Structure 1
Amino acid sequence: MQHTSPNVVGVHYRVGTNLLTNTPVAIKFEPRKTEAPQLRDEYRTYKILSGVDGIPAVYYFGLEGLYSVLCIDLLGPSLEDMFDLCKRKFSVKTTAMIAKQMITRIQAVHEHNLIYRDIKPDNFLMGKQNSNNRGKVYLVDFGMAKLYRDPKTHIHVPYRERKSLSGTARYMSINTHLGREQSRRDDLESIGHVIMYFLRGSLPWQGLKAANNKQKYEKIGQKKQYTSVKELCEDYPEEFGIYLTTVRKYSFEETPDYDYLRGLLDAAIKRVGETDDGVYDWMVPSNGYGSESSMQNTFSGRESRNGLTPNGKEKNLHSSNQALVSFQNKTSRTQTGNQPDLDSNPNVNANSREQISNDGVNSSNPRLSNRMSTPLNRSQQQFTNSDPKNARNDQYSQPTNANPNAGENPREQAQSKGFLAKLFSCGCFS
């Protein structure tokens, strides 16, 4: 078997190699016994969005031993990683260029009848460094995605209230805090909150103290309602305030004017005397962030910031689906001793039984029930899946017995192993 270092990307990702093409992939794991499984729905969403610009390709979904496994393109660092690299402040130009791409990605999701529901910097990744796509923003982690209209009739879901929270509290819309059914407007409002986070370095509702999570989310929601757009966007180009005011005024079923919103961001770039030339803050050596090659070394030597909590314990699955970048274990990133901020990594996710969305995220009540069932990759049929009896109890599934006569050619190696191991090399399958 061709080996790769057992790199961990986030808690439930590993970096592997596609043995047929010798290209790196991100392999995502979900325990089969998880209380609220979502990986199969995420796979189906990737298939629906197949071929969409800025959405990673998906190569495989299946059961391997004690885990469900999803293989997708390996990408670069997350926007949160780049934000850290730039000392937690982006320029108006960089923020606007990023936000334009974020809107375009979300527009594509909406055009495929889905809303995303978990906008945050960690779920937007840059292309791999030193590649032609290094300036492209990708969208990943569709565990919270949901149909907002019937794919055939385009009939919108009905407006409802008293909905459970779903998403990340720091960035979610005011309507989500109020328990209202989410729609396209809420994704775009969340982008507005991310925009101001990048410009300001933090948001007024960060760091609030409360006795428990429920009170915490209530305080965050109240602070958002009482913080005026003028106060939030003060000292920045007025287009950012217009953006946020516009998306907050959209009605529940209204189709957003994506071109107008991107135009506002173009105007903000022009207002500060810049142009959208694809050069981000971290690409300018004079800013002190170094060359792209040195950046690659920086990111290849550390874990994603959200892979582990400061005390070393694993985070829950949903909040750990972070930057799909190949991090080596040569160096480790310094972690602070503070507890993670609940508003950025809340327990409002598919693994929290009490706070789970009423829509449900498990296979018994699928969010994507209106869509056609998407079959697994047909190429599976030509392989024999790993024997469950060979599954290792300690961690990940073990491949079937390898053919001792298999040569060094990846295709020959692939033909001698179970399906996942045949296609993808990873330290956990050695």
Structure 2
Amino acid sequence: MHWRYRCPVCLRVLKAMCNSRIEFHELPRLQPRVFVKAFFIHANQVAIKSPEPQEFTAATAYRIAIQTLERLEKLHDIGYLNRDVKSQNFAVGLGNESAIIYMLDFGLTRRYRNADGVMLKRRARGPCVGTYPFSPLASATMRDQAPKDDLEGWFYMIMEIIVGCLPWHNAKLMLDHGLTREWKQYARDAFKKEMLDTLPEEFTPMFNKIINTRFEERPRYNFLQRMVAASANRQAINLKVPYDWQIVPPLVALVKKSAQFADTTSSMVTGRTGGMKREESETPQSVAVA
């Protein structure tokens, strides 16, 4: 969808967050004189730590899981679905905000509850939206989505961060949409144990809870948070240590470079009196939900 048509949707989401007293920040596309310093997080970025791609450390991966789940819960609480959960749609702040994870890009969001909090009627069919490796089975099979489907995408995102790839997708494989759909169905049946055995044991009840949640049911966010915390505790993972990008030299350098770029761009935007260039207007907005 072209950004010009996505903006009204993004604005509605941001307005709803503002009304719910959730802290939010907008990038130039929505407000020319406000710029949030952020750099994108993605599992592959950690490849700069060594010649071979590596995942984040366990502490950072688990803390990403906790914060991103909190962001999705807040988005759902104001009546919207994300429908494009993936690591590229989250970013971390720079400077004093480097421990905050932001949610980006609300172009595929859809309201699932009306202003009175009543869930909208389930549609007979839904669009195939999102990013195939992480989109839920409901999207791949053209079914209407609910909050539980965002959490399925969240599970795949965290699985990629922890394991380094997904059974149906890695950097060396050409993406096959039909095969991806079949894999996700297979992951619910004969392949489920093999897939979940690649993850800590607490992730098995998490996955089962997500896929068995009814369409109209509120997901058990607290249960998922407890399972993540329990997994970290069992493995003696300290969740109070700094994030990798706060202490690992190559990532610290990347953050510093991103901050310098953000400062330069912010100065350019603030000093501009006229319109913005197309590239800046297409910058995805970011939002932090505390």
Give the TM-score, by structure 2 length. Answer: 0.79
Equivalent position of 2:255 in the other structure:
296
Report the counterpart of residue 39 of structure 2 in structure 1: 77
Partner of 2:14: 46
CA contact (8 A) 2:127 2:144 kept: no
Cα distance between partner residues in 2 of 1:283 and 1:300: 13
- Residues 58 and 70 of structure 1 are in contact (CA less than 8 Å); yes or no, is this contact kept in structure 2? yes
Distance 1:224 1:271 in 2: 28
Runs of 5+ in structure 2 lacking a partner? Answer: 282-290
Q: Deviations over 1:194-215 (max 9, x none)?
A: 11101111111116658xxxxx
Matched, 1:253 2:195: no
In 2: Cα distance, 1:197 partner to 1:209 partner: 16
Structure-2 residue corresponding to 1:217: 177
1:126 match: secondary structure: strand
> CA 1:60 to 1:180, structure 2 compared with 1: closer, same or farther past 3 Å?
closer
Aligned residues of 1:56 and 1:138 also touching (Cα < 8 A)? no
| Letter of the structure 2 residue corresponding to residue 40 of structure 1 | P
Aligned partners of 1:85 and 1:57: how far apart in 2?
Answer: 29
Q: Residues of 2 paired with 1:92 and 1:155: CA distance?
A: 39
Q: Larger RCO: Structure 1 or Structure 2 (Cα < 8 Å, ≥ 6 residues apart)?
A: 2
Aligned to 2:287: none
Which ranges in structure 1 are unaligned for 5 or more consecutive residues?
1-28, 62-68, 211-215, 302-324, 330-409
User: Residues 144 and 271 from structure 1, CA distance in 2 versus in 1: closer, same or farther, beyond 3 angstroms?
Assistant: same
Give the counterpart of 2:84 among 109, 118, 130: 118
1:219–1:236 Cα change, 3 Å: closer
Q: Which residue of 1 aligns with 2:262?
A: 326
CA–CA distance in 1 between the matches of 2:280 and 2:247? 36
2-structure distance, mates of 1:225, 1:161: 20
Q: Contact (CA 8 Å) 1:196, 1:233: kept in 2 or not?
A: no
Counterpart contact for 2:38–2:259, Cα < 8 Å: no
Q: Following TM superposition, by how much is the alpha carbon of 1:60 offset from its aligned partner in structure 2, in angstroms?
A: 7.2
Pick the structure with more helix per residue: 2
Number of residue pairs aligned between Structure 1 and Structure 2: 265
CA contact under 8 A between 1:120 and 1:168: conserved in structure 2? Answer: yes
Q: TM-score, normalised by structure 1?
A: 0.55
Residue 162 to residue 83, structure 1, CA distance change in 2 (3 Å) = farther
Q: Indicate yes or no: 2:199 matched with 1:236.
A: yes
Give how far 1:256 is off.
1.2
Q: Secondary structure at the match of 1:77?
A: strand
Q: Quickly say closer, same or farther: Cα 1:121–1:150, change in 2 above 3 A.
A: same
Report the AA paired with residue 60 of structure 2. T
- Following superposition, the deviation at residue 95 of structure 1 comes to 1.4
Q: Which residue of 2 aligns with 1:149?
A: 113
Letter in 1 for 2:115: P
For the pair shown, the structure with the greater C-alpha radius of gyration is: 1
- Mapping of 1:53-132 within 5 angstroms? 53=23, 55-57=24-26, 61=30, 73-80=35-42, 82-85=45-48, 87-128=53-94, 131-132=95-96
| One of 118, 129, 145 as aligned partner of 1:182 | 145
Give deviations 1:308-350, integer Å, cap 9, x for gaps. Answer: xxxxxxxxxxxxxxxxx73989xxxxxxxxxxxxxxxxxxxxx
> Aligned partners of 1:92, 1:427: CA distance in 2, in Å?
35
Displacement after TM superposition at 1:272 (Å): 1.5
- Give the letter aligned to residue 139 of structure 1: M
Render the CA deviation track for 1:329-388: whole Å, top value 9, x for unaligned.
9xxxxxxxxxxxxxxxxxxxxxxxxxxxxxxxxxxxxxxxxxxxxxxxxxxxxxxxxxxx
Q: Hey, what's the Cα distance between the residues in 1 that align with 2:14 and 2:80?
A: 11
